[in-house]
């Protein structure tokens, strides 16, 4: 009767740096970086705290790794979408869609980035915030282009791009894989919201 391997589900697979990162991700997303102790991450992996140091350099490094990978991925997504071309409505739809999709499929990463980027220390924090700004400005440029062409109607492209970005970000705060809607469906709906915000009524609202 091997009773107590029930601490968390996968307690006795080999511990790797990937699994440490994943455990940190889950707990950082749940309780925040400062609210999570290494002992909790260790406990989730069925291991004592110092053993973590065989697979990571420091707690802070885990945070950096998570935020670095995630912000880089966001920009990558966006550039792929923009380079595929199309008119502003197409680009905005696809940019919002991929951003929304990411926040449904990578909830934990998104929560950590949005909550704990401010806990990075200095050279890194600024460069992560610069990535966020780059995405922000790029999206704003798409909206401004649409306004110039007369297909979008907004008073302030900056305001609209804030709204659309944060709209997508918020998906991470409620989405569940077990819910009634798939990530794809939610992403489609939210991309539709994005178009509505800039004054475009999408041709089809049916599912």
User: Can residue 118 be called a binding residue for DNA (CB under 7 A)?
Assistant: no
Yes or no: say if 168 and 99 are a contact pair by the CB < 8 Å rule: yes
Q: At what angle do helices 122-148 and 157-169 cross, to 10 degrees?
A: 120
Look at residue 199 and give the partner it binds from DNA, a second copy, none, a contact being a CB closer than 5 to 8 Å depending on partner kind.
Answer: a second copy
At 168 the three-state DSSP class reads: helix
Of 111 and 197, nearer to DNA (C-beta) is 111
CA distance linking residue 82 with residue 121, whole number of Å? 32
User: Closest distance between a second copy and the C-beta of residue 36, in Å?
Assistant: 9
Q: Given the complex with DNA, which of 47 and 167 has the nearer CB atom?
A: 47
Q: Which residues of 3-14 are buried (b: 16+ CB within 10 A; e: fewer)?
A: eeeeeeeeeeee
Cβ 14 to a second copy, closest distance in Å? 31
Taking alpha carbons only, the member of 64, 57, 59 closest to residue 36 is 59
The binding track of 24-63 with respect to DNA, each residue x by CB under 7 A or -, is ------------xxxxx-x----xxxxx-xxx--xxx---
Site for a second copy in 121-180 (CB under 8 A): 153-156, 159-160, 162-163, 166-167, 169-170, 173-174
Contacting residues toward DNA, per CB under 7 A: 14-15, 36-40, 42, 47-51, 53-55, 58-60
């Amino acid at each position: 009767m091997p009773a107590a391997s029930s601490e968390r589900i996968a307690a006795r697979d080999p511990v790797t740096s990937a699994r440490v990162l994943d455990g940190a991700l889950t707990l950082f997303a749940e309780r925040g970086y400062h609210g999570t102790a290494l002992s909790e991450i260790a406990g989730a992996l069925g291991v004592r705290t110092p053993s973590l140091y065989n697979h990571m350099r420091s707690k802070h490094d885990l945070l950096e790794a998570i935020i670095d990978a995630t912000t880089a991925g966001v920009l990558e997504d966006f550039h792929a979408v923009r380079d595929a071309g199309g008119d502003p409505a197409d680009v905005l739809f696809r940019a919002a869609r991929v951003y929304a999709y990411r926040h449904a499929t990578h909830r934990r990463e998104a929560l950590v980035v949005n909550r704990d980027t401010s806990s990075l220390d200095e050279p890194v924090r600024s460069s992560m915030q610069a990535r966020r700004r780059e995405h922000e400005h790029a999206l704003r440029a798409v909206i401004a282009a649409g306004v110039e062409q007369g297909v979008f109607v907004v008073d302030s492209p900056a305001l609209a791009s804030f709204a659309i970005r944060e709209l997508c970000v918020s998906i991470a705060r409620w989405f569940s894989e077990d819910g009634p809607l798939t990530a794809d469906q939610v992403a489609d709906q939210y991309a539709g919201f994005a178009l509505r915000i800039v004054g475009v009524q999408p041709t089809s609202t049916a599912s």
